[in-house]
Structure 1
Amino acid sequence: MFLSIATSNLVATSLARQDKKEVQHQISILLFVGLTCGFLMLLLTKIFGPWALTAFAGPKNLDILPAANTYVQIRALAWPTILVGWVAQSASLGMKDSWGPLKALAVASAVNGIGDIVLCIFLGYGIAGAAWATMVSQVVAAYMMIETLNKKGYNGFTFSVPSWNEVLTILGLAAPLFVMMISRVAFWALVTYFATSLGTNVVAAHQVMIQSYGMCSVWGQPLSQTAQSFMPELIYGINRNLSKARILLSSLVIIGATLGLVLGIVGTSVPWFFPNIFTPDQTVIQEVRSRLT
């Protein structure tokens, strides 16, 4: 996630200087960093995945470990592709192009949905089928993201090893974002850890709530992406305009505050009044409502 944000920022800043060669170089080194991180995450999942799942599931949920590990190990195969795709997607967004990533997402969603139906329902592969369907859809999405860059005149298949100074530049931008995001994810992980220790029904209720939160939290990402795509041009570009930058910032803050209020109401009302959207299990529904109160 921090790599995605760093890509948008660096690409948008280079574009503001109208330096196409620098944009290509930024994309190439970030693709290399994404690929390297992806293989590292694949390796870590292969080695520590079973241990981490065992720690999270707890003694009351040992029966779910084989299925969970199967799912995680299959999904992990896509990590290098996922991170490369995120870099390519963020580069397009830094160029103020959201249609390319949207098309890739639409196709990937269709592949995932069709794959789930075929592999899980007709062929009976269960959770492994769901994992394969998602993994393949992510590979398809990454390829489409790269092709989107290629159509803009950039080479999305070029990987360049960054120099030490370039690594420091990326770290200088990404490190604060990494600390912020890893702290957030660590908090979610801690909550999930305690939920798994309380039994299956609590885990199911927690899953409903965390998914509700996830659907609400993504609404802030477009605002963040808008700032990253437009601010560099207004602050660092050839035709810099600090007055417009302040107006844009004020508008985004107002929209963000309004969205936050609305989403807070929606995020608590939907699980309370329409819990059957998530589950027909009355025990789980009671657990969800008890968490809301």
Structure 2
Amino acid sequence: MTQASATPKATRRQHDREIVALAVPAFGALVAEPLFVMVDSAIVGHLGTAQLAGLGIASALLTTAVSVFVFLAYATTAAVARRMGAGDLQAAIRQGMDGIWLALLLGAAVIAVVLPTAPSIVELFGASDTAAPYATTYLRISALGIPAMLVVLAATGVLRGLQDTRTPLYVAIAGFVANAVLNVGLVYGADLGIAGSAWGTVVAQCGMAAAYLVVVVRGARRHGASLRPDALGIRASAQAGVPLLVRTLSLRAILMIATAVAARLGDADIAAHQIILSLWSLLAFALDAIAIAGQAIIGRYLGADDTDGARQACRRMVEWGIAVGVALGVLVILSRPLFLPLFTGDSTVKDAALPALVIVALSQPICGVVFVLDGVLMGAGDGPYLAKAMILTLVVFAPVALLVPTLGGGLTALWAAMTLMMTVRMLTLWLRSRSGHWLVTGATR
């Protein structure tokens, strides 16, 4: 039965099966990084508030250094899925290999910048005198794992584009377990403090990168794709990712502004912000699992010249995003009394975090729509629009957030500004999805 001849109910069931098959394993892989941060936060948080505050600043900086290059995963997923839909597997994997080589080059460049400038960057973020040394230590050590993190992004994009989200799940589970064991052993067993947490994460990330490389290299050899670096291919991969880089830089600027504002509110507020941001990231990646399914499915449909299938899949994924967002919001409300003690015993930090957690819970349905439509447009290769929309969101958010220390409201007001940011994103993405301008077919866009 073809997409055109299927009944609406049968079509929904087909999309549901595809979404579940891709999104459920993708969730496990997506939450690996926020779970790394949450484990680090839980372990380091019991060393003291200053250490947790330092981790909060360093984690935001480190995540920014890696996440600005998330196009290595997202752009590769869309490109590989399109070529798969068109039946050109060899070219798809070759493009993925170019992305991996690009990841290694970018990782080396980031290390060269972060290592000597770490103290200045931490100071720029307004870290207190007590938190700054811990932030600098964690940032410098963790920076050594950035090339591995970027390789993980690129290789994950290849596998997602090939409609394989199970392998990333298995690697993520292994990496999470290794990270937890190494952190406990190095922080407390070896008495390395916050430095032990950083080293544990670096080792775990390197192990994950090695596992991905084994899988991708085997696939390349099986389909006759070259493993050698190709200057033109690497350059093309970089150029294709520029709009998504702009989009991601704007998003990271929003999160960095939020962290900088929280740091200026005091150690208790930045510590509470770190806990909430860790949870928010976990919830975001859970919703993004549907978006990852969207990237792969939309890319495949458009590569096969099936615009009707792409539209129907988009509509169904938005329904999933709203439903999952509501469920996550309820879960956050119910788990608040149990969640905070996992990270801190400081009553001041808990008092700052509790009302902000309510705002996070109420915003989850909005987040569900945002992440799904973001993934749909990425799968369609609509990077230029995503870049413009995120710049507009940054322009709206920045002045509102920067006024929080002056106008008052503390961390609660800051997270209200974050909800405003997500609402602006939802409106821009919804307008684009309704326009149909993203429905461009073919093996390449």
> Using a 3 Å threshold, how does the CA distance of structure 1 residues 159 and 6 change in structure 2: closer, same or farther?
farther
Partner residue in 2 for 1:14: 83
Amino acid at match of 1:34: A
- When residues 290 and 259 of structure 1 are mapped into structure 2, their CA distance, relative to the original with a 3 A threshold, is closer
RMSD over aligned Cα atoms: 2.3
Aligned to 1:70: 137
1:248 pairs with one of 310, 313, 325: 313
Normalising to structure 2: TM-score of the pair? 0.60
Shift of 1:182: 1.4
**Residue in structure 2 matching 1:186, options 228, 231, 253:** 253
Q: Deviations over 1:51-99 (max 9, x none)?
A: 11111134xx112222221111111111112111211111111111112
Q: How many pairs align? A: 287
Q: How far did 1:157 drift?
A: 9.4
Query: Does residue 92 of structure 1 match 2:190?
Result: no
Q: Which residue number in structure 1 is paired with residue 117 of structure 2?
A: 48
Deviation per CA, 1:17-36: give whole Å up to 9, x if none: 22233123202211121111
> What residue in structure 2 maps to residue 25 of structure 1?
94
SS in 2 for 1:219: helix
Are residue 167 (structure 1) and residue 232 (structure 2) matched?
Answer: no
The share of aligned pairs that are identical, in percent, is 23
Query: Does the 8 A contact of 1:24 with 1:154 survive in 2?
Result: no
- Superimposed CA distance per residue, residues 224-243 of structure 1 (whole angstroms, 9 cap, x where no aligned partner): 21122122222222xx4333
Q: Cα–Cα, structure 1 residues 241 and 206, in superposed 2: closer, same or farther, change >3 Å?
A: same
Judged with a 3 Å threshold, the aligned counterparts in structure 2 of structure 1 residues 158 and 78 are, in CA distance, closer, same or farther, namely farther
Residue 285 of structure 2: aligned partner: 218
> Secondary structure at 1:163's aligned position in 2?
helix
Contact 1:54 1:62 in 2 (8 A): no
In the alignment, does 2:322 pair up with 1:257? yes
Match of 1:125 in 2: 192
Q: Which range moves more in the overlay, 177-186 or 97-106?
A: 177-186
Q: Does structure 2 conserve the Cα–Cα contact (< 8 Å) formed by 1:271 and 1:288?
A: no
Query: More deviation in 105-114 or 155-164?
Result: 155-164
Instruction: Please say if 1:230 is aligned against 2:230.
Output: no
Query: Post-superposition shift, 1:193?
Result: 0.8
The alignment partner of 1:47 has SS state of helix
Name the residue aligned to 2:55. Answer: none
Aligned-partner residue type, residue 19 of structure 1:
D
Equivalent in the alignment of 1:106: 173
Verify: 1:200 aligned to 2:246, yes or no: no
Q: Deviations over 1:120-166 (max 9, x none)?
A: 121111111111110000000011111122343448993423328x7
- Check whether the contact 2:76–2:157 (CA below 8 A) recurs between aligned residues: yes
Runs (5+) with no aligned partner, structure 1: none
Which residue of 1 is the match for residue 126 of structure 2? Answer: 57
Unaligned runs of at least 5 residues, structure 2 = 1-69, 359-411, 413-445
Q: Aligned to 1:144, which of 195, 201, 211?
A: 211
Q: Residues 106 and 45 of structure 1: is their aligned pair in 2 closer, same or farther, counting only changes over 3 Å?
A: same
Partners of 2:114 and 2:237 in 1: how far apart? 28
CA contact (8 A) 2:95 2:237 kept: no
TM value normalised by structure 1: 0.89
Find the counterpart in structure 1 of residue 16 from structure 2. Answer: none
